[in-house]
Structure 1
Amino acid sequence: MGFLDIKSVTKSYGPVEVLHRVDISAEEGEFLVLVGPSGCGKSTLLNMIAGLEEITTGEIAIKGQTMNGVHPSKRNIAMVFQSYALYPNMTVGQNITFGLEMHGVPKPEREKAMSDVASLLQIEQLLDRKPGHLSGGQRQRVAMGRALVRNPDVFLFDEPLSNLDAKLRVDMRTEIKKLHQKLGTTIVYVTHDQIEAMTLSTRIAVMNGGYVQQLGTPKEIYDDPANVFVASFMGSPSMNLIPARVVDQNGEPHAKIRLEGGKTAQLRFSDPGLAAHSGREVLLGIRPEAITDPEGADRKSGNIQTLHNVVDVTEPAGSDTFVTTTISGKTCIARMRADTDVRAGAEVAFAVNMDKAVVFDPETEKRL
């Protein structure tokens, strides 16, 4: 049993089931991120934890106590919304302490809690201002302060950074991570941004179509995706998915692929167990950083395979150069060193780290 347990939870609106038997258990102090595209059910699940949506079937428990039917005010949770939801007629200080006042907390305790939270979030100078005079980042800090002041069992964040510009999102991401490291409180965080999910979480639940596609650490999600959806959704640029055929070459399994000009190549798999799939069509999944120039290849890998193919496009990106080529009729992106001398139309050597390759069934889209 975890600190937060979601057991076989479903949600239906009339005859339509939008969440399908969700099972997640989070330990105390964990930073759990629910990530997925719009409409996947992540915000609905968060609202069910908060008590804002009723559970159709299943159970949600916090600290071993079932929350089914418990009013939101009795759950000892605090929620930070995308829209900040601040009272415009109140000062920052009043917004932060309003909930405590409604619960009858004495004024000296309220002021002490407000002072501690304001210091933690570095918003002491804003306490007498109204929300209308604050920037988006400052408003989000105030919304976080209002949640923090209650010292809840679980923090719930519903896409809190989506209204901020790109640079401010990065800054606030760092602040939220620092906050979690200081407080050690359990956090459930909803986002559609896979970069936020990877950088903030201790574990990620990738959702799509009302199902949890995979639950794991950022490294597990990134390196060992359970299916094609997770592979393509997590990572920027996303994982290359290359049609290939498993063939036997001197007793070892290889991926046979097509290159430009009608040529073919074979890349040896690191997993000998794939020999059982010889003759089968598969999808070969390789992250862009696992395809690079020979000089930039991972020297620790025991299975770097080299192939030559024509460059379609190059995209300098400061610290890297992204190189696009076509393999088996699919666009494939390689991440090469910034000073790599490659040009569109030229045939160059690509070093493929097959230790990092994963294989999917093209019909079921599940990992083999």
Structure 2
Amino acid sequence: MGFLDIKKATKSYGSVRVLHETDISVEEGEFLVLVGPSGCGKSTLLNMIAGLEEVTSGDIAIKGRSMNGVRPADRNIAMVFQSYALYPNMNVAQNMAFGLEMHGIPKPERDKAVAQVADLLQIQPLLDRKPGQLSGGQRQRVAMGRALVRDPDVFLFDEPLSNLDAKLRVDMRTEIKKLHQKLGTTIVYVTHDQIEALTLSTRIAVMFGGHVQQLGTPKEIYDNPANIFVAGFMGSPSMNLFPARVAVENGNAIARIDLADGAAASLPFPPGNAMAAHDGRDIVLGIRPEAITDEDGADRNSKAIHRIETRVEVTEPAGSDTFVVANLGGKEVTGRFRADVDVRPGNTFPFAVNMEKAVAFDPKTEQRIG
């Protein structure tokens, strides 16, 4: 049994089911991120944990106690919203202390809690200011502070960084991660940003269509996606997905692919790879951009680097890297090259492909097969 247990939880509005049977067990101190596109059910699940939405069937329990029918105020959870939800007529200290005041906490204890959290978040100079006098990042810190002073069992974050500009979002991401490492709090965090999910979480639940598509650590989700949706959604740039056909030569599996000029190429899977059982089968081959690179930039520890020469379609300089787009199997494929590689659109160039990092999917079921 986990600290937070979600057991076969569903949510329906009339005849429309927006969240299907969901099972997730969150351990104490874990940072779980619910990630997925708009409408996937992640915010609905978060609201069910908070008590803002009723569970249609199944159960949600915190510390072994079922939350079904328990009012939000009685769940000992704290929520940080996308909109900050600060009271404009109160200063920062009053906003942070308001929840404690509503729970009847004496003023000396409220003041002590606010001072401790303000020190932790480095917002002491802001305590006398009103929300209208704060930047977006400062408001978000205050919203986090209001949650922290309550010392809840579970923190719930609902896309808290989506209103911030790109640089501030990165800075706040780091602050939230440092805060979690320092306090060891249990956090459930909703976002549509897969970079946030990968950098913040101890585990990720990737959601789509009201289902949890995959639950695992960031490394498991990134390296071993369960299906084509997870492969294409997680990562920036996302995993390259293109058609291939499996062949077996001398007992070893090979992925045969078509190149843009009408030629074909063969990419051998590592020796002993289970794909040999799929001889003659059409597959969708998945390879991350960093596993398609220039020859000098390829992983020296890999024993499955294979060269393909094909025409470069587009180059995208990105500072520390250059993204290079080619066509494999009729699909655009992006490789991550070193910044100083002399590669130009229209030229034929050797691509080094690390087949140790390749995964394969069934094109019909879209589930991973190898």
Range into which the TM-score falls when normalised by the shorter chain: over 0.9
Letter in 2 for 1:50: A
In 2: Cα distance, 1:273 partner to 1:230 partner: 21
Partner-residue secondary structure (3-state), 2:169? helix
Letter in 1 for 2:350: A
C-alpha deviations, 1:259-317, integer Å up to 9, x for none? 12211011111253111111110000000000001111001111111111000011111
Partner of 2:324: 323
C-alpha deviations, 1:329-352, integer Å up to 9, x for none? 000000010111111111111100
Over the matched positions of the two proteins, sequence identity in percent amounts to 75
Letter in 1 for 2:7: K
Partner of 2:191: 191
In 2: Cα distance, 1:318 partner to 1:129 partner: 40
C-alpha deviations, 1:93-138, integer Å up to 9, x for none? 0000011111111111000000000000111011111111111111
Alignment of 1:346 with 2:347, yes or no, is yes
Letter in 2 for 1:96: M
CA drift at 1:59: 0.5
Partner of 2:237: 237
Partner of 2:176: 176
Partner of 2:358: 357
In 2: Cα distance, 1:46 partner to 1:326 partner: 41
Q: TM-score, normalised by structure 2?
A: 0.99
- 1:91-240 correspondence runs (5 A): 91-240=91-240
Letter in 2 for 1:16: V
- 1:60-75 correspondence runs (5 A): 60-75=60-75
CA drift at 1:251: 1.8
C-alpha deviations, 1:36-78, integer Å up to 9, x for none? 0000000000000000000000000111111111111111000
Partner of 2:287: 286
In 2: Cα distance, 1:250 partner to 1:323 partner: 33
Structure 1: 4+ residue segments shifted above 3 A = none
C-alpha deviations, 1:121-166, integer Å up to 9, x for none? 1110111111111111111111000000000000000000000000
Letter in 1 for 2:250: N
Q: Which moved more, 1:264-273 or 1:340-349?
A: 264-273
In 1: Cα distance, 2:69 partner to 2:194 partner: 32
Alignment of 1:41 with 2:68, yes or no, is no
In 1: Cα distance, 2:301 partner to 2:61 partner: 45
Letter in 1 for 2:103: H
Partner-residue secondary structure (3-state), 2:261? helix
Q: Aligned-residue CA RMSD in angstroms?
A: 0.6
Partner of 1:308: 309
* Structure 1 gaps, min length 5: none
In 2: Cα distance, 1:250 partner to 1:322 partner: 35
In 2: Cα distance, 1:275 partner to 1:105 partner: 66
Partner of 1:52: 52
Letter in 1 for 2:359: V
Alignment of 1:80 with 2:80, yes or no, is yes
In 1: Cα distance, 2:98 partner to 2:355 partner: 57
Partner-residue secondary structure (3-state), 1:260? coil
In 2: Cα distance, 1:156 partner to 1:330 partner: 40
In 1: Cα distance, 2:39 partner to 2:259 partner: 38
Partner-residue secondary structure (3-state), 2:229? helix
In 1: Cα distance, 2:318 partner to 2:15 partner: 49
Letter in 1 for 2:185: T
CA drift at 1:246: 0.3
Partner-residue secondary structure (3-state), 1:299? coil
Partner of 1:3: 3
Letter in 1 for 2:313: D
In 1: Cα distance, 2:116 partner to 2:164 partner: 25
In 1: Cα distance, 2:75 partner to 2:209 partner: 28
CA drift at 1:324: 0.3
- 1:265-280 correspondence runs (5 A): 265-270=265-270, 272-280=273-281
C-alpha deviations, 1:3-35, integer Å up to 9, x for none? 110000000000111000011001000000000
Q: TM-score, normalised by structure 1?
A: 0.99
Partner-residue secondary structure (3-state), 1:282? strand
